[in-house]
Amino acid sequence: MHLSTLDFTVVAIYGIVLLVLAQWVSREKAGHQKDTKDYFLAGRALPWWAIGASLIAANISAEQIIGMSGSAFVMGIAIASYEWMAALTLVIVGKYLLPVFLEHKIYTMPQFLEQRYDHRVRMVLAVFWLGVYVFVNLTSILWLGALAINTVTGLELTWALLVLASFAAAYSLYGGLKAVALTDIIQVVLLVMGGLMIAYISMNEISGGAGVLAGFGMVLEQVPEKFDMILSKDSPHYVHLPGISVLVGGMWIMNLSYWGFNQYIIQRALAAKNAREAQKGIIFAAFLKLLMPVLVVLPGIAAVILAPDLSAPDKAYPEVMKLLPAGIMGLVFAALIAAIVSSLASMMNSISTIFTMDIVKHYSSGTEQQLVTIGRVVSFSALVIAVIAARPLLGNFDQAFQYIQEFTGFFTPGIVAIFLMAIFWKKATASGALAAAIGSAAFSVGAKLWWPSLPFIDRVGLAFVLCAALGMLVSRLGGGEDHPDAIEYSKIDTSTSAGFNWASVAIILILTGLYTVWW
């Protein structure tokens, strides 16, 4: 299937508008040159709507749209737990974790670890995140995005990779985080509109034109097994989403790591005008997360009825897109491209921030402008490496989303243990943190080899407990005294506005209703 001339026109208009707008919002006043605060943290002046939109635009990419739809095709609505539990995680991050990071006025998460522990911890985590961001996250965004372009337009995968990479570079290299964040409101609006359109048209197609509600009712009747939020042990997909563990087990560790301690995500909140603005942005993002399964998961379930003989689950979303009429197809395709390039640009900026501010700045005394130039070179270099590595790393996986989750699950237990000890336990030491980091890989690989039947989310939860215990033991053996740079958490202002509190209650009630209906 190929796009019509009208579709290409819609996509071209989107691309031109985005590029022009990105350059316009990135402009500087006469006589002012971008410094590191401008390039990496948007001058610490982001408003709440830009923070919330950018959090979602960075998060929702081909990895979610293509990968999660593919997982929904296989296992149904249970995969939506990643989205709905993330909404509650965002509330916790905004209330209890973000104020600590804002108090320390950091650029990067490794920088926070140096302030709390020592330079060794900063370097170890900086190198780790650079590796994961380049060879897991950036490659997955590129590969799944190229797969979508190939399915919809027929463009060869290598050319699709190059088109995405070139567009993302042109869009973000000059302006940095400011260019990305201040244009992400357009990306999110387009993403939501496109997602709602494809959900509407797929449901209407299933009902034979009788409407969305009729179509959804038919889906419930024809594939009821796809609407189990909490999978039982006899489910073939229990190994990926092990029942109640998605509510009280290892998924919390995955979500806290991603939304609370992940440079790629938290960088937007670090760029806020102030704590209140950051918290408003986080609540905005939390409500958008509640909507995401309608945009991403529902089309994957619809594909079970509309295209049951797919050669690979990750082709579910692109196949459902084929139902769209000319013009609408272009708009939805533009929304998909919007999600991909925004995530690419966000990841590139986070890679350059960590490399420049955590590694280069430590070993050189370059000027602010020289550091910005290095940041741009690093962004471009990371993109080139990811383009080269994408096909060898991901070309043989049917469900890339599950591959990404399981791979990151080897390391997230240690990351969460390190940060939680840093924030809430005064006796945590650098040696304890490093022991937890090393233990994360060791415990996870050991469990994978010697307890292969253990679902990976349960493995994440078990590894977290072991990492925390090891970190605390090593810290105790180091003397058991309060660390000189320990955080006085009682002195951190974690108060929130009435609006934040009421919105949090609404999110909890909505989640309770969703899980009650589809338990």
Of the pLDDT bands very low, low, confident and very high (cuts 50, 70, 90), residue 31 is low
With DSSP H G I counted as helix, E B as strand and the rest as coil, what are the percentages for the chain, rounded to 5? 80, 0, 20
Q: Tens of pLDDT along 43-58?
A: 788 899 989 998 988 8
Work out the mean pLDDT of the chain and round it to a whole number.
87
Task: Classify residue 444: in a domain, yes or no.
Answer: no
**Which of 350, 309, 448 is CA-nearest to residue 111?**
350
β-sheet bridge partners, residue 297: none
Q: Where are the alpha helices (DSSP H) in 355-426?
A: 361-363, 368-394, 400-408, 412-424
Sign of CA dihedral 110, 420, 276, 484: negative
286-330: pLDDT as tens digits: 999 999 998 889 999 999 998 888 877 877 888 888 888 888 888
Q: What pLDDT shows up at residue 126?
A: 92
Instruction: State yes or no: pLDDT of 1 exceeds 60.
Output: no
Q: What is the pLDDT of residue 405?
A: 67
The per-residue pLDDT for 63 is 65
Q: Classify residue 156: in a domain, yes or no.
A: yes
State the average pLDDT over residues 242-252: 86
Instruction: Answer yes or no: is pLDDT of 29 > 70.
Output: no
Nearest alpha-carbon partner for 296 in 336, 258, 269: 336
Domain count, the chain: 1
What is residue 97's DSSP assignment? I
Give the residue-averaged pLDDT of 483-497. 90
> Could you tell me if residue 235 is inside a domain?
yes
Within 355-367, residue ranges assigned H as helices are 361-363
Of the pLDDT bands very low, low, confident and very high (cuts 50, 70, 90), residue 32 is low
Quick one: tokens of 143?
Answer: 């590969």
At 299, which amino acid appears?
Answer: P
| pLDDT band at residue 2 under the 50/70/90 scheme | low
C-alpha 289/C-alpha 412 separation (Å) is: 21
Q: DSSP states of 307-375 as a string?
A: -TT-SSGGGHHHHHHTTSPTTHHHHHHHHHHHHHHHHHHHHHHHHHHHIIIIIIHHH----HHHHHHHH
Nearest residue to 225 (alpha-carbon basis) of 78, 69, 402: 78
Q: CA-CA distance, 225 to 347, in Å (whole number)?
A: 36
pLDDT tens profile 426-460? 999 999 999 999 999 999 999 989 998 888 889 99
Rounded average pLDDT over 90-112:
93
- What pLDDT, in 10s, does the model give residues 377-406? 999 999 999 999 888 877 666 555 556 666
Domain membership of residue 195 (yes or no) is: yes
A 10 A CB-CB count for 126 gives 23
**Coil, strand, or helix at residue 447?**
helix
Q: pTM of the predicted model, to two decimals?
A: 0.89
Domain with 91 in it: what CATH number?
Answer: 1.20.1730.10
- Can you say how many angstroms the Cα of residue 74 is from the centroid of all Cα atoms in its chain? 21
Question: Does residue 512 form part of some domain?
Answer: no
The mean pLDDT of 488-494, rounded to a whole number, is 90
In a domain, 247, yes or no: yes
Segment 119-141 shows an average pLDDT of: 89
Contacts of residue 245, Cβ cutoff 8 Å, sequence gap at least 6? 251, 455, 457, 458, 461
Closest CA to 220 of 233, 201, 237, 207: 207
Q: How confident is the model at residue 338 (pLDDT cuts 50, 70, 90)?
A: confident
> Is residue 506 one of the residues assigned to a domain?
no
Domain that holds residue 151: 5-22+38-399
Alpha-carbon distance of 142 to 391, in angstroms, equals 9
Flag whether 205 is in a domain: yes
Q: Is the pLDDT assigned to residue 99 strictly greater than 80?
A: yes
